[in-house]
Amino acid sequence: MRPLLLVAIFIGLGLGAPPVIENYVVNGSDALAAEFPYMVSLRTRSGTHTCGATIIANSWLLTAAHCFVSRNPDDYTIQYGTNVISKDGDSVMRIRRIICRDGYDDNNQFIHDIALIELEQPLEFDAFVDSVRLPSAFVFTQGGQEAQLVGWGLNATVGGVIQTHLQKVDLETMTDDECRKLHFDKIHTTNICAGVKGGGKGQCTGDSGGPLLLNGIQVGIVSWSVKPCTIAPYPGVFTEVSHYIDWIRLHSGLTLMEGK
């Protein structure tokens, strides 16, 4: 999956080049019906998919701050309750409000890359529309665990296309030390990394804002990665959700239960 703006760089981290924001799933497989009922497509006014997002309550979504080139909610809609997205699809809703984390800075390795979306109307939950579970505050993800990335992003950097059918792919989380070494210390303490050691699987353009899941709990939000997408040995970088549970509570007014 990918955000609205995509900067093309090729393995430039060691030279101080900025990270590339990417938002699509590479080498994934089709998600099953109602397998991820909390997945939402964030769209431009014209209906073009730009980012993923997740339902955390019937009026609130979670995504990445970098997905919003404009902070005007009238510039976006969401499509929900389906694995198959299209410009002319149904189950589309307008946005009431966008709240990006104070201190978000795309010039500082996308620090605090997290945002809330308040919907114009509450969603009606059913088998195909439901909220994702969130982690407890400051309970951090360990390395070496099997996680899952979900999104509609590109399936390749060169010649890839945004997927119309929701994709999923299994990744492995990395320790903070492993990630810092591979990304030349360009990682914040509020990040988590995941990928596969040989490369070839992970996030790309269009996947931004979507979830990294561990045992069904959203532990990460797709933030950035090196181009070309999924190139070894660079893992994808995610915003670690557990750092921001109190912020989510404060700005949404939600009483989030532990693990939900």
Q: Which domains does the chain have, with CATH numbers?
A: 37-119 (2.40.10.10), 145-241 (2.40.10.10)
- Mean of the pLDDT values across residues 6-30? 48
Query: CA torsion, points 232, 233, 234, 238, in degrees to nearest 10?
Result: 100
For the chain, the distance separating the N- and C-terminal CA atoms, rounded to the nearest angstrom, is 25
- Check whether 18 has a pLDDT greater than 90: no
- Mean of the pLDDT values across residues 179-183? 94
The residues annotated as belonging to the active site are 66, 113, 208
User: What 3-state DSSP class applies to 220?
Assistant: strand
What are residue 26's phi and psi, to 5 degrees?
-100, 130
- Mean of the pLDDT values across residues 166-184? 95
- Check whether 3 has a pLDDT greater than 80: no
Q: Residue 25 — pLDDT band, cuts 50, 70, 90?
A: low
Q: Residue 157 — pLDDT band, cuts 50, 70, 90?
A: low
Among 18-22, 153-157, 164-168, 211-215, the minimum mean pLDDT is found in 18-22
Q: Residue 161 — pLDDT band, cuts 50, 70, 90?
A: confident
The dihedral through the CA atoms of 16, 63, 37, 92 has a sign that is negative
pLDDT the model gives residue 8: 35
pLDDT the model gives residue 9: 33
- Check whether 64 has a pLDDT greater than 70: yes
- Check whether 158 has a pLDDT greater than 70: no
**How many Å apart are CA 110 and CA 108, to the nearest integer?**
5
